């Protein structure tokens, strides 16, 4: 055929194929599939954009739909993740018999999964994760083509569907995690011979791991964490020759870890913390050339640590903290060339930090706290040569040693240095001044002395300085008033490792030594409990980002500077137990976030400011001075104590003359009385019965002051007295402190019959006469509601006012959300919603039902207490009346805590009901996000929780604000509803905010997903 003939043939073929080409570009979906999709759409509460019920519409063009040209426009993919779909999943979807991919993840679909969904012959990928499906998995499953099945993060229950492998042997990915599956792991999963990833974590599984799981030779990742699995870890794990990651954390595994990991040639990650493993680290782990992360924290492992680091060439993170290891710190760790994070804290080591650590060039984070180490000088000499070290924690070691002053010490990249609670001696060494990148320095609870060096103020990034509980002398360096990070707030401290507890820090409350994460440290200057002298510099007012300023128990003198009112972020100011003089500057009333203020035991005089936060501070904050105030005692009685020097000299002669005259007159009067008694002695005998009533009255008054008044009908305590309370708290021992509020300390007490109570101690005279105090307390006792902490009784003895409350077994919501290490993971969404509903009911009662109505004025997570059933109880309501007797219950001077104060309080010093609602909205955000209202240690833009949440909401990123411990597990739509309620509470206009009655109604309806 010639060239022209060939071109003619091409043209003819092109014309013949053109219709087919055009039809492949403009497919019309199969009518049967269109009908199925219409039923699917009809079960949704929200119409999808672009989808229509018009029969002429081409469903192949709809969002999320993919059709297959060779099969006449049959639907093969339905992919609609993150579309906020809600409603039920239609049983008709099984009619899409050519469907290969179904992805409806991260939506709000609910109810049971259709049986027909598990009988689709061509389905290869099924992803229904992060919805709200409930019920059981069908016993009959026939998905012969399935390759990936993900139904995690729902509310499914019952037994694991181990029978899935009977007809689905080709499945490679199976995730059933974060549901409510319970019981034992039944045999059957071993038949999924192609399985590469199996996730069963965060369920309620019990018993042992069945052996057939260890027959999955293609398995690469196995997640069994957060269950109640127990027994010994089977050596059958050696059969998983392709295993890369194993997570069995937070279970009840016991016995020794099997020594079989040498069979796993690709193994990299072992996460086995929080079990009951004993024995040592198996040789196959300590010699593994592939392991990158080894987390065995919080077990009962013992013996010495041996890691063959010359073989462990990929080890990056090692956490062996909180075990029973003994012997020396392993000296060969530097041979692990990739090792960056090392946590060996809270073991039973002895000896010193090995000299070989001077070659530990990869090390970034090291914690050896509470490890019985000695020779700090050698330790620092060695560790300074770790050129990439950024965080060093050596707390509770080196008892009684001297802090070395070697000028050659130098830590080039160190950001965090903690050598606290070591009883160290010596002074602040010069070498510290060379750590230019230092951001957090804690040398508290030692015996350091000498003057504080001026160069402490030269750190560009330092935001946390704790030198408290030492023996420092001299003036506070004025240079500390120039710390840039506390002036401008450029704080960006990164956590050394995402999962490591940071270090143990001594706490003066009942909890003693606590774990702390870096993110929990606010900008702080802690210099209390020393022997510092001189003034409190006015220039401290420059530190506008400082939150904690603690100078208590020193010898500071001079006035309290008015400039301190410029420390606009200040939340804690403690100047107590010094030698300060003058008055309390009224300008301090402008510190809107100040929640703890203490100037007790100085030489202050004059009137206590009455505006701002000052109305909330207890009398104990001012005692030991010559201060006065309308709500405490009359200022008229104290004016003579502070006359001017000139007036004092002018009246000196007059005072002397008066004293001489009084002495002479008194002597004359005594003589005359003596003569009178002699003359009448024989005529009048003393009648002892005439003295008895006076004695009895005095004893009765003393007795009544010691008795405890109980409002409840406690038959066994008709004569409970102060001695019983003293005995129940071990004489108000510090170890029994369970809380510290704006009105005093709270102690745990156990009465003689074993009943537990909480006793709040209000020091001072509480600003009222005894009769008025009794009346006010008895009025508070009538505030009875299931969601309030009940006031059971009170006692007045000398200057003490004691309030007796019901004891709450589970402490505060703040403790569970922000302090307890595993608190957020244990506080599920159902419990959090229950707490929100209960707190709202308690607040509504105070606002609307209680007579008289009561403003709370300090709603926050630490004032929401939880009983043994996690039922919410509002605390500290109405206590302002005991301190401020002249306020009304309706509108009172503002109070509050940083992060909870509504914006209008910055413009007017009046608290309102809608202010309580705003604070409640902040608590709702805490429950949803698990974050504190303010965290100055977070990156800029995320420190203020409210602003961050509102911004994320405007960007349609609501799902990113939720606490990962609760999001996606079952109730995401309910969480979105509560988020909407919280935002209504946080409206800048008080008029738009809801009432507490509305809050109760909306929150109670959340579970039914009704509209707000």
Cβ(613)–Cβ(895) below 8 Å: yes
10 Å CB burial of residue 151 (0-12, 13-18, 19+) is buried
Point out which residues pair with 155 in neighbouring strands: 134
What is the pLDDT, as a whole number, of residue 594?
A: 85
Q: At what angle do helices 996-1005 and 913-929 cross, to 10 degrees?
A: 30
Closest to 439 in 3D by CA, of 480, 485, 403, 505: 485
Strand partners, 449: 471
CATH at 797: 3.30.200.20
Mean pLDDT of 219-227: 93
User: In the predicted model, what is the mean pLDDT of the chain?
Assistant: 80
pLDDT tier at 801, thresholds 50, 70, 90: confident
In this structure, are residues 637 and 902 in contact, taking their beta carbons and an 8 Å threshold? no
Max Cα distance, the chain (Å): 164
DSSP three-state, residue 393: strand
Mean pLDDT confidence for 129-139: 88
Place of tokens 């309806």: 1005
Peptide bond into 852 cis (omega under 30): yes
823/859 same-domain check: yes
Q: Is residue 722 part of a domain?
A: yes
Give me the percent of the chain exceeding a pLDDT of 70: 77
406 SS3 class: coil
Q: Which residues are annotated as a binding site for ATP?
A: 760
Average pLDDT value for residue range 54-69 = 81
46/107 Cα distance (integer angstroms): 12
Binned at pLDDT 50, 70 and 90, residue 143 comes out as: very high
Residue 492, SS3? coil
Q: Which tokens go with 932?
A: 């504190």
Q: What is the CATH number of the domain that holds 903?
A: 1.10.510.10
Q: pLDDT tens across 603-613, in order?
A: 999 999 988 88
- pLDDT band at 798, cuts 50/70/90? low
State the average pLDDT over residues 360-378. 93
Q: Which two tokens stand for residue 844?
A: 């509504």
- The pLDDT of residue 509 is above 50: no
Q: 574 and 638 share a domain?
A: yes
Mean pLDDT, rounded, for 515-527: 70
Q: Which of 16-20, 398-402, 671-675, 943-947 has the highest mean pLDDT?
A: 398-402
Neighbours of 671 (CB within 10 A): 10
968 shares its domain with 996: yes
CA distance readout (Å), 786 to 136, 144, 838, 843, 867 = 36, 55, 8, 11, 11
CB atoms within 10 A of CB 842: 26
Same domain, yes or no, for 834 and 980? yes
- Please calculate the CA angle 309-310-313 and round it to the nearest 5 degrees: 75
Q: 111 catalytic, yes or no?
A: no
CA distance 395 to 384: 17
CA 304 to the chain's CA centroid:
35
pLDDT value for 884 = 41
Q: How confident is the model at residue 1001 (pLDDT cuts 50, 70, 90)?
A: confident
At 79, the pLDDT band (50, 70, 90 cuts) reads very high
DSSP letter for 549, please.
E
* Residue 56 counted as domain residue: yes
Phi, psi (rounded to 5 degrees) for 633 = -160, 165
Structural domains in the chain (count): 5
Residue 930 domain-assigned (yes or no): yes
In a domain, 49, yes or no: yes
Selection from 400, 413, 409 nearest residue 439 by Cα: 413
Using CA atoms, how far residue 260 sits from 221, 238, 298, 373, 426, in Å, is 17, 5, 22, 33, 51
Q: Give the containing element (helix H, strand E) for 606.
A: strand 603-607
Looking at residue 656, what is its pLDDT?
43
Task: Give the DSSP letter string of 810-874.
Answer: T-BHHIIIIISTTHHHHS-HHHHHHHHHHHHHHHHIIIIISSS--------GGGEEE-TT--EEE
The answer to which of 251-265, 880-894, 986-1000 has the lowest mean pLDDT is 880-894
List Cβ neighbours of 500 (8 Å cut-off, separation of 6 or more): 319, 321, 341, 343, 365, 367
The radius of gyration of the chain from alpha carbons, rounded to an integer in Å, stands at 36
User: Based on the domain organization, do 116 and 145 belong to the same domain?
Assistant: yes
Q: Report the pLDDT value the prediction gives residue 845, as an integer from 0 to 100.
A: 86
Average pLDDT for 881-897: 41
Mean pLDDT across the stretch 145-160?
92
Domain boundary among 158, 183, 210: 158
Helices (H), 482-597: 484-488
Spatial CB neighbours of 26, under 8 Å, sequence gap ≥ 6: 58
Question: Residue 103: pLDDT band by 50, 70, 90 thresholds?
Answer: very high
Q: Which residues, 6 or more positions from 14, have their beta carbon under 8 angstroms from its beta carbon? A: none
In this structure, are 794 and 820 located in the same domain?
Answer: no
pLDDT reading at 659 higher than 60: no
Same domain? For 738 and 661 the reply is no
User: In terms of domains, do 817 and 956 share one?
Assistant: yes
User: Which of 341, 550, 724, 858 does the annotation list as catalytic?
Assistant: 858
Q: How many residues does the chain have?
A: 1012
Indicate whether 786 belongs to any domain.
yes
Quick one: 830 and 899 in the same domain? yes
* Distance in angstroms (rounded) separating the CA atoms of residues 52 and 63: 11
DSSP H or E segment with residue 628: strand 626-628
Q: Which of 522-536, 701-715, 780-794, 875-889 has the highest mean pLDDT?
A: 522-536
* CA dist., res. 411 & res. 388, Å (int): 9
pLDDT, tens digit, for every residue of 192-202? 999 999 999 98
Whether 960 is in a domain gets the answer: yes
Q: Quick count: other Cβ atoms within 10 Å of Cβ 624?
A: 14
* Span 818-860, pLDDT tens digits: 888 778 888 989 999 999 999 999 998 888 877 667 888 889 9
Same domain, residue pair 817 and 802: no
Domain membership of residue 729 (yes or no) is yes
> Per the domain annotation, does 89 fall within a domain?
yes
Taken in order 9, 12, 16, 22, the sign of the CA dihedral is positive
Looking at the structure, do residues 756 and 859 belong to the same domain, yes or no? no
Residues 6+ apart with CB under 8 A from 384: 409, 410, 411
Residue 942 has pLDDT above 80, yes or no: no
Q: Residue 554 sits in which domain range?
A: 535-642
Tens-place pLDDT, residues 268-312: 999 999 899 999 999 999 999 999 999 999 899 999 999 999 899
**Cβ burial 296-335 (10 Å sphere, 16+ → b, else e):** bbbbebeeebebebebbbbbbbbbbbbbebeeebbeebbb
Q: Are 373 and 349 in contact (CB under 8 A)?
A: yes
Rounded to an integer, what distance in angstroms lies between the CA atom of residue 124 and that of residue 969?
24
Instruction: Give mean pLDDT, residues 118-141.
Output: 90
Beta strands in 138-296 (DSSP E): 148-150, 155-158, 173-175, 180-183, 197-199, 204-207, 221-223, 228-232, 245-247, 252-256, 269-271, 276-279, 293-295
Check which CATH number belongs to the domain holding 581 and give it.
Answer: 3.80.10.10
DSSP bridge pairs for 294: 270, 318
> Do 939 and 834 share a structural domain?
yes
Q: Residue ranges for the binding site?
A: 760
Residues 721, 714: Cα–Cα separation, whole Å: 13
């Amino acid at each position: 055929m010639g060239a022209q003939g060939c071109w003619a043939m091409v043209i003819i073929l092109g014309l013949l194929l053109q219709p087919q080409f055009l039809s492949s570009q403009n497919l019309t979906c199969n009518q049967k599939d269109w009908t199925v999709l219409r039923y699917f759409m009809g079960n949704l509460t929200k119409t999808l954009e672009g989808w229509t019920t018009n029969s002429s519409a081409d469903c192949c063009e709809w969002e999320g739909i993919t059709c297959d040209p060779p099969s006449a426009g049959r639907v093969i993919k339905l992919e609609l993740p993150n579309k906020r779909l809600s409603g039920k999943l239609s049983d008709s979807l099984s009619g899409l018999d050519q469907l290969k991919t179904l992805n409806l993840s991260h939506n709000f679909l609910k109810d049971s999964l259709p049986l027909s969904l598990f009988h689709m012959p061509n389905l290869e990928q099924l992803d229904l994760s992060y919805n709200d499906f409930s019920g059981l998995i069908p016993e009959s499953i026939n998905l012969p083509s399935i390759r990936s099945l993900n139904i995690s993060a729902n509310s499914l229950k019952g037994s694991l569907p181990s029978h899935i492998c009977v007809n689905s042997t080709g499945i490679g990915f199976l995730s059933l995690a974060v549901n409510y599956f319970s019981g034992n792991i039944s045999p059957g999963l071993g038949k999924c011979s192609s399985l590469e990833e199996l996730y069963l974590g965060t369920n309620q599984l019990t018993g042992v791991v069945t052996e057939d799981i260890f027959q999955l030779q293609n398995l690469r990742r196995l997640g069994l964490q957060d269950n109640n699995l127990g027994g010994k870890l089977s050596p059958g794990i050696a059969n998983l020759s392709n295993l890369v990651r194993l997570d069995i954390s937070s279970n009840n595994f016991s016995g020794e870890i099997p020594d079989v990991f040498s069979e796993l040639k690709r193994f990299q990650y072992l996460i086995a913390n929080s079990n009951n493993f004993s024995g040592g680290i198996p040789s196959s782990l300590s010699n593994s050339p592939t392991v990158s992360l080894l987390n065995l924290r919080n077990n009962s492992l013992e013996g010495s640590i041996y890691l063959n680091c010359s073989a462990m060439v990929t080890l990056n993170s090692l956490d062996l903290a909180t075990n029973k290891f003994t012997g020396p710190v392993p000296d060969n760790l530097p041979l692990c060339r990739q090792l960056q994070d090392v946590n060996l804290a809270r073991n039973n080591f002895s000896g010193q930090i090995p000299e070989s650590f001077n070659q530990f060039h990869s090390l970034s984070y090291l914690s050896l706290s509470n490890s019985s180490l000695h020779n700090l000088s050698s330790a620092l000499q060695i560790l300074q040569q770790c050129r990439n070290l950024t965080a060093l924690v050596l707390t509770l070691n080196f008892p009684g040693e001297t802090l070395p002053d070697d000028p050659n010490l130098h830590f080039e990249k160190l950001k965090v240095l903690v050598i606290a609670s070591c009883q160290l001696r010596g002074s602040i060494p010069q070498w510290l001044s060379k750590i230019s990148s230092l951001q957090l320095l804690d040398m508290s609870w030692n015996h350091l002395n000498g003057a504080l060096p001026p160069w402490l103020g030269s750190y560009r990034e330092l935001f946390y300085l704790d030198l408290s509980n030492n023996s420092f002398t001299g003036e506070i360096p004025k240079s500390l008033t120039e710390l840039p990070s506390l002036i401008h707030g450029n704080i960006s401290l990164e956590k050394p490792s995402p999962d490591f507890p940071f270090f143990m820090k001594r706490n003066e409350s009942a909890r003693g030594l606590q774990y702390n994460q870096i993110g929990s440290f606010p900008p702080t200057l802690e210099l209390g409990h020393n022997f510092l002298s001189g003034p409190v510099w006015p220039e401290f007012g420059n530190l506008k980002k400082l939150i904690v300023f603690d100078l208590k128990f020193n010898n500071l003198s001079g006035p309290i500077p008015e400039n301190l009112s410029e420390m606009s972020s200040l939340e804690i100011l403690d100047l107590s137990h010094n030698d300060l003089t003058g008055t309390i500057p009224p300008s301090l009333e402008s510190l809107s976030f100040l929640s703890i203020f203490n100037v007790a035991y100085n030489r202050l005089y004059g009137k206590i400011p009455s505006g701002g936060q000052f109305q909330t501070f207890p009398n104990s904050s001012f005692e030991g001075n010559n201060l006065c105030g309308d709500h405490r005692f009359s200022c008229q009685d104290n004016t003579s104590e502070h006359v001017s020097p000139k007036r004092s000299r002018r009246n000196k002669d007059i005072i002397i003359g008066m004293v001489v005259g009084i002495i002479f007159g008194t002597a004359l009067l005594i003589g005359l009385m003596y003569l009178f008694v002699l003359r009448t002695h024989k005529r009048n005998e003393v009648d002892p019965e005439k003295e008895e009533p006076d004695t009895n009255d005095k004893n009765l008054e003393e007795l009544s002051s010691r008795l405890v008044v109980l409002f409840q009908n406690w038959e066994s305590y008709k004569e409970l007295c102060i001695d019983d309370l003293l005995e129940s708290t071990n004489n108000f021992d510090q170890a029994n402190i369970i809380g510290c509020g704006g009105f005093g300390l709270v102690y745990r007490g156990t009465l003689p019959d074993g009943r537990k109570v909480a006793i709040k101690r209000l020091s001072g005279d509480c600003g009222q006469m005894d009769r008025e105090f009794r009346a006010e307390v008895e009025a508070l006792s009538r505030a009875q509601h299931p969601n309030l902490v009940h006031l059971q009784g009170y006692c007045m003895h000398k200057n003490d006012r004691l309030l007796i409350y019901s004891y709450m077994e589970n402490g505060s919501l703040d403790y569970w959300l922000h302090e307890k290490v595993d608190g957020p993971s244990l506080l599920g969404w159902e419990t959090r919603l229950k707490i929100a509903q209960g707190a709202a009911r308690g607040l509504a009662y105070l606002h609307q039902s209680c007579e008289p109505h009561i403003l709370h004025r300090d709603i926050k997570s630490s004032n929401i207490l939880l009983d043994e059933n996690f039922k919410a109880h509002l605390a500290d309501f109405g206590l302002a009346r005991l301190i401020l007797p002249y306020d009304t219950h309706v509108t009172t001077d503002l109070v509050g805590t940083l992060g909870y104060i509504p914006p209008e309080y910055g413009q007017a010093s009046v608290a309102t009901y809608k202010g309580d609602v705003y604070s409640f909205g902040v608590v709702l955000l805490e429950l949803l996000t698990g974050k504190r209202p303010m965290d100055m240690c977070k990156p800029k833009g995320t420190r203020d929780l409210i602003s961050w949440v509102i911004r994320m909401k405007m960007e349609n990123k609501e799902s990113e604000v939720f606490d990962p411990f609760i999001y996606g597990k079952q109730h995401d739509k309910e969480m979105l509803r509560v988020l909407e309620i919280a935002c209504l509470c946080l409206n800048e206009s008080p008029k738009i905010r809801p009432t507490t009655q509305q809050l109760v109604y909306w929150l109670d309806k959340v579970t039914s997903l009704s509209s707000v």
